Amino acid sequence: MKQYNIFVCGVGGQGVITLAMFLKRAGVPVGYRVVGGEYRGAAQREGPVTATVRYGIPEAGETYADAGTVFAGNIIPGGAHLVLSTEASEALRYPGYLSPDTTIVSSSYIMPPKGTTYPKLEEIEATLKEVTQQVYYVDTNGLSMSNYGSYRMANTVLLGAALAVSDLPLTKANIEAILERQTDLEALRLGLQAGEDARLKVAK
């Protein structure tokens, strides 16, 4: 039984929990045992919000029941395969989940808290790269705003980017199967392209 752990983070109101729920639902028709937590409470107004998505993936010869030890919502230190961040600096808040094998796909959207110095994007990227080389930034909010007039599609763009650059064990078809809106399908494709662009930039 293989595990795949996704850590989703961002700021309250950005749809972190919705994004994580989407990933949870996407794993079910593929036959994964899905477990995950949501760190809600105090409705987290403008504060950090996190959620986890954990897949127990039965391997050859195993049944669904064999994936039984993916039990609790928490991810152990060093245990995140993929980190998705809907805000440019939030992945920095959780360095314990990272390992050199983690892929980080982050929106470059900045939500600067009042009264704090917000680090430069280059600094954030450099800090994350102290741990892993697979760090990708995508302008999800800009793409969503310029194509759809709001930030609503930003997380779908982020999902597409993650599909392009990470080892997320879902195919484009797996995700399309549970998308409901035409605009989501388009936004997913935008994200795939943006992810590819980001990967090429990193490869240079």
Partner 1 sequence: MSILVSGEPGERVLALGNEAIARGALEAGIGFFSTYPGAPASEVGDAIAEVIDQLPGLHFEYSMNEKVALEGAIGASWAGVRAMCAMKHMGLNVAADVIHNLVYQDIKGGLVIYNSGDPGATSSTDEQDNRLFSLHTHVPVLEPSTVQEAKDFTVKAFELSEKFSIPVIINTTYALAHLIGDLNLGQRPREFPATGEFSFDPRTGGGTVERHRRLLDKVDAIKEMAETYDLNSVIPGTTKWGIITGGIPYGYVVEAMEILGLSDVPILKLGMVYPMPDRLVSDFVNSLEAVLVVEELEDFIEGEIKKLLYDSETRVPVIGKKLFPRVGPLSSFLVASGIAKHLDLSLPAHVQEGWERSQAMAGRAPARFPTFCPGCPHRAAFYSFREVVGDQEVACGTDIGCYLYGGRPPFNFGNWGGWMGVGIGVAQGMSQKVKNVPIMAAIGDSTFFHTGMPTLLNAVQNNANVLLFLMDNKTVGMTGNQPSPTATATVSGQPLKNVDTVALIRGLGVTFVRKIDPYRPFEMMEAIRQAMEQDGVRVIISERECALVSGRRERMQSRGMQEVYAIEPERCQKCDVCFVKLGCPAILSRGENGSEVYYIDEARCSGCGVCKTICPNSAVLRTLVNPHLEVRV
Residues that bind partner 1 (CB under 8 A): 11-13, 21, 24-25, 28, 33-48, 69, 71-74, 76-79, 89-90, 92-99, 111-119, 127, 130-131, 141, 145, 148-153, 180-183
Residue type, 3: Q
- Kindly state the smallest distance separating residue 199's Cβ from partner 1, in Å: 25
CB of 109 to partner 1, least distance (A): 10
Cα distances (angstroms) measured from residue 161 to each of 34, 136, 190: 22, 9, 8
- How far apart CA 17 and CA 23 sit, in angstroms, is 10
User: Smallest distance from the beta carbon of 89 to partner 1, in angstroms?
Assistant: 5
Rounded-to-integer distance, Cα 162 and Cα 104, Å? 9
DSSP H or E stretch at residue 201 = helix 182-203
For partner 1, the closer of residues 112 and 201 by Cβ is 112
Which CB atom, from 149 or from 204, has the smaller least distance to partner 1?
Answer: 149
CB 193 to partner 1: min, Å? 19
CB of 173: closest distance to partner 1 in angstroms?
16
Nearer to partner 1, 182 or 203 (CB): 182
C-beta closer to partner 1: residue 61 or 180: 180
91, 83 contact by CB (below 8 A): yes
Least separation in angstroms between residue 167's CB and partner 1 is 16
Q: Which is nearer to partner 1, 34 or 202 (CB)?
A: 34
The Cα 73–Cα 36 span in angstroms is 4
Contacts of 89 (CB under 8 A, 6+ apart): 110, 118, 119, 124
Residue with Cβ nearer partner 1 (181 or 203):
181
- Of 201, 199, 194, 159, the C-alpha closest to 26 is 159
Decide: 151 and 10 in contact? Cβ < 8 Å.
Answer: no
Amino acid at 188: L
